[in-house]
A and B are shown apart, each in its own frame.
Chain A
Amino acid sequence: MTATEKGPAVEAIGLVKEFEKGRRTVWQRLRGEPDQRERFRAVDGIDLRVERGEIFGVLGPNGAGKTTTLKMLSTLLEPTSGTARILGWDVVRDAREVRRRMGAVLSDGRSLYWKLTARENLQYFAALYHVPPALHKERIASALAAVHLDDRADDYVERYSTGMRQRLLLARALIPDPELLMLDEPTVGLDPQSARDLRDRVREMRTQGRTVLFTTHYMEEADQLCDRIAIIDHGHIVALDTPAALKRTIAATEVVRLEVQGLAASDPALLARLEKSGSVARQERQNGVLSLTIHCRSARDFVPAAFDAARAEGATIDHVEVVAVTLEDVFLALTGRELRE
């Protein structure tokens, strides 16, 4: 079995992962009772193709199936059905070959050995990744330099900040000199500066010719980093394209957020008025305040019309915010929910 040098970095067809809900007791097992647990699909038929050399993001809310997908692609989880190939190798049949060629950050800083130095951590993983001993020194130095930790290489990891640990995880993933990097929510828990720094490191990975597949629920991160994005929800890919093309899919150039007060039961009338000059993507009532997100072609035209409409319905607009279309709006348009919900 050999893989080709060409072809996509990642190819998944009809990937499904089912888990059982609840638990089966020892008593049920001993009595040989049939397993009647309900099954649910964390990933429900994902088709994915990531080209070599691109940064590909999987964007979705918590529980959408992002991590499960990445775990299947990285051989940690066995798919219930469907196939996936990494650099031409099948993730089930050729799992060891996949692991040889891939670097992954699927866990947080806890997965490092805190009582070892960064260099000692990488020495151990260099051996586990089967890097020839003659190359250890060079490979470790290069990985540490790539994440800007070379000056702290001999400090214990327990003395690192969260951001430094996250960068060390990236260095660990670089040890096999992989063509493909998989990163699961790499900036979660980082302060803005550390997150920006890590994103810069990821961009450098692309300039080095590597493919990066990463998951995130931060739309700005996906927007800034990715060549292409798959938006995932309830285990399905609901859209897949470049960030710009995804944003073009909604018929609006601007997004207006309004907070309306003083409405009785006349919401439908107000909404009907607003719908004449925009599209109400989301509405939520809390403590007597109606929050609206409206997609429109021109906020300059829409906002005065909105004030007129509110006045006509006896309501007042307390807050107006005009923003450019983001991936959050794309997600909202596709699923009717916000990414952070």
Chain B
Amino acid sequence: MTASLVADLHAFAAAGVKEFRILRRYPTLFLGFLFWPIVLPFSYVLQARGFAGGNAAAEAAFATRAGTADVVGFLFLGFTAYMWISMILWGPGTALRTEQVRGSLEALFLTPASRLVILFGPAFSQIVWALYMFGLVGIAMVFVFGIDIGLVEAIRALVIIAVATPALYGMGALFASVVLRFGEVGALVQTVRGIFTAFCGMTFPIIVLPEWGRAVALALPPTYLIGGLRSALLAGADLVSLIPDMAFLLASGLFLCAAAVVAFRSTERYARRGGSLAQY
């Protein structure tokens, strides 16, 4: 490993620490976040109960389509994964935009640190949020809703999350390139989040989609993350059976990260030519 790479890894960690320190100075954020991952998906659980009640036929139909009879687990996992996906989609772009608006982006670009540090480093702190959120939901699922999740299943879920991470960060980094080019990324992220909500099976099994909708869903990495988590935690699937899904996630991660690096370099050059680095 070269000295420069080691120094960049250190800078990467420092960027995460910096963000986390700033986050820590707003402790009410953690308090607010205590409720969202529980209350929001629970409203979907109540909605499902409202539609189906305790009707055995309805539950059986759901089990056939979803691959599990556990409505609560199905909805909580889908929603938690979606919240994490949203967080990462916003992450690098928002971090870059925050630096731009704050006026610190040029100071960062004056340092010899790799652009990947500037791009991904601040978003790295969101891993803390992700662990917090998944931990919170895990506790609620086991102790409040009585869902049986063993250590092995939890480890499988963590592997799936790790495998999906590059693809999600790659998408987030592509949005960050848009920030350097156009300054604003909100509308684009909202559109993509809308597509993910409609197609990736956050609160429904994708089998209920029309055929063309399923084709769209199967081209989107979040579908595999959400599906993989449900299979591992609720249907007892082992990692071997999930290899095709994980291979797709890894391949798309590789492609999206490479595309993000190319796009970021190109937009950085554009900004350095036009002097728009600090403009927002």
| A residues with CB within 8 A of B | 19-20, 68, 71, 74-78, 96-97, 99-100, 102, 104, 106-108, 110-113, 115-116, 120, 123-130, 132-133, 172
Contacts and interface: CB of A to CB of B under 8 A. Distances in A.
Interface residues of B, number: 32
A120 B20 CA distance: 12
B126 to A, nearest CB: 17
A75 to B, nearest CB: 7
Given A75-B109, A110-B102, 19 more contacts: A99-B111, A102-B110, A106-B110, A110-B103, A112-B104, A113-B104, A116-B18, A123-B14, A124-B15, A125-B107, A125-B111, A127-B13, A127-B15, A127-B113, A128-B15, A128-B111, A129-B111, A129-B112, A130-B11
B103 A108 contact: yes
Contacts of A20: 274
Given A100-B112, A106-B110, A133-B10, A113 B22 contact: yes
A70 to B, nearest CB: 11
Which of B17, B103, B113, B275 has its CB near the most chain A CB atoms (within 10 A)? B275
B112 A76 contact: no
Contact of A127 (B11, B106, B278): B11
Contacts of B14: 123-124, 126-128
A130 B109 CA distance: 13
Which of A76, A106, A120, A172 has its CB near the most chain B CB atoms (within 10 A)? A76
Given A106-B106, A115-B25, A120 B112 contact: no
Interface in B245-280: 269, 272-275, 277-278
A140 to B, nearest CB: 13
A120 B25 CA distance: 13
Contact of B10 (A78, A102, A116, A127): A127
Contact of B106 (A107, A112, A113): A107
Nearest to A71: B275
B111 A76 contact: no
B110 A104 contact: yes
A106 B278 CA distance: 11
28 contacts: A68-B275, A74-B110, A77-B273, A78-B269, A78-B273, A96-B112, A99-B110, A104-B110, A107-B278, A110-B102, A110-B104, A112-B104, A113-B18, A124-B17, A125-B111, A127-B14, A127-B113, A128-B14, A128-B108, A128-B112, A129-B111, A129-B112, A129-B113, A130-B4, A130-B112, A130-B113, A132-B7, A172-B107
Contacts of B11: 127-128, 130
A97 B4 CA distance: 12
A96 B272 CA distance: 14
Nearest to A98: B112
Nearest to A74: B110
Nearest to A105: B107
Given A19-B275, A127-B14, A130-B7, A76 B110 contact: yes
Interface in B1-35: 4, 7-8, 10-11, 13-15, 17-18, 21-22, 25
B117 interface: yes
A115 B112 contact: no
Contacts of A106: 106-107, 110
Contacts of A76: 106, 109-110, 272, 277
Given A19-B274, A76-B277, A107-B103, A128 B117 contact: yes
Closest 6 interchain pairs by CB?
A127-B14, A110-B103, A130-B7, A128-B111, A111-B104, A99-B112
B135 to A, nearest CB: 25
B10 A75 contact: no
Contacts of B113: 127-130
B112 to A, nearest CB: 4
A99 B11 CA distance: 15
Interface in B206-233: none
A138 B36 CA distance: 44
Contacts of B17: 124
Interface in B83-139: 102-104, 106-113, 117
A76 B112 CA distance: 12
Contacts of B10: 127, 130, 133
Contacts of A132: 7
A335 to B, nearest CB: 25
A116 B21 contact: yes
Contacts of B278: 107
Nearest to B10: A127
Contacts of A124: 14-15, 17-18
A127 B21 CA distance: 15
A120 B110 contact: no
Nearest to A125: B111
A120 B14 CA distance: 10
B102 A111 contact: yes
A78 B270 CA distance: 9
A237 B269 CA distance: 27
B177 to A, nearest CB: 17
A109 B274 CA distance: 24
Given A77-B272, A124-B15, A127-B14, A111 B106 contact: yes
